[in-house]
Amino acid sequence: MSGICDRRVVVVTGAGRGLGRAHALTFAAEGACVVVNDLGVGLDGTPGPDSPAARTADEIRAAGGEAIAHGGDIATSDGAASLVRAALDTYGRLDTLVNNAGFLRDRMLVNLAEDDWDAVLRVHLKGHFLTLKHAAAHWRAEAKAGRPPAARVVNTSSGAGLLGSVGQGNYSAAKAGIVALTLVAAAELARYGVQVNAIAPAARTRMTERTFAAAMAAPEDGFDAMAPENVSPLVVWLGSAASEGVTGRVFETEGGRITVMEGWRPGPTLDKAARWTAAEAGEAARELLTQATAPEPVYGA
């Protein structure tokens, strides 16, 4: 087995099922050695009875690839550190980190419990931060030792993080935070040979099966647009050396479509060169809004 990731060592979090599993299998098919991380929890983040990470790793090895399973909690510093250490101890290097782990606890804001807010932010946003922190520390040390890496990070945001999603205030905030973290990391780590990008995927997984219920039936044309495997080729390319020069970007991907997302940038502006009164500021804001592009609607609005 060989391909654009031949002998690269790739860590994928949340790789026991859904998108993460598809990413891990596709990386392996392109020649990567894969560290499959999954805590094995349910949709709400509570522990499950089986080991999906081991099943994915077994599947890769059965197909002739190389993989190990890791069941640590990447939303803890010890768990994230042990994940990086597992790659280094087993394969002697780390080339690519794919942050994918997450779960949902959806509620309208007035019904959203503090624990549900904290739990979702912890896994999605803190989980991204801790794995990135420990991987980046390794790559910085390598660069300073005269061994600059061709390292890649692919983070997982969402359309909910870019536009918002009704009933998902916690998830939307976490995914928006991941975009900002991606931009900062791309700027800070470039000097060490690390590229950091994010995807905002749409696919049918355990987390989204209710959202995409209408797309569950077998497609008549043979192309299942909601299959998670459709997202993985872009992730694998971003995680490969072939993506040289691409960093600090967010890509939306669904089915056969890939879109480069363009974030906040200055729009219409008025400058009085003096302090506004409240009434003047309001008039100026309304005038500017007539010149501005209308925002995309929030999902579910």
Q: Return the active site residues.
A: 158, 171, 175
Single out the residue of 66, 59, 78 nearest to residue 30, CA to CA.
66
Taking each helix axis from N to C end, the angle separating 77-91 and 127-144, rounded to the nearest 10 degrees, works out to 40
Whether residue 171 contacts residue 211, with contact meaning beta carbons closer than 8 Å, is answered with no
**Kind plus residue range of the DSSP H or E element containing 118:** helix 114-121
SS3 261: strand
What CA–CA distance (Å, rounded) separates 132 from 76?
12
CB within 8 Å of 162: residues ≥ 6 apart: 175, 176, 179, 200, 250, 252, 261, 263
What CA–CA distance (Å, rounded) separates 230 from 225?
7
Whether residue 16 contacts residue 36, with contact meaning beta carbons closer than 8 Å, is answered with yes
Whether residue 23 contacts residue 12, with contact meaning beta carbons closer than 8 Å, is answered with yes
Whether residue 124 contacts residue 64, with contact meaning beta carbons closer than 8 Å, is answered with no
**Is 246 buried (19+), middle (13-18) or exposed (0-12) by CB count in 10 A?**
middle
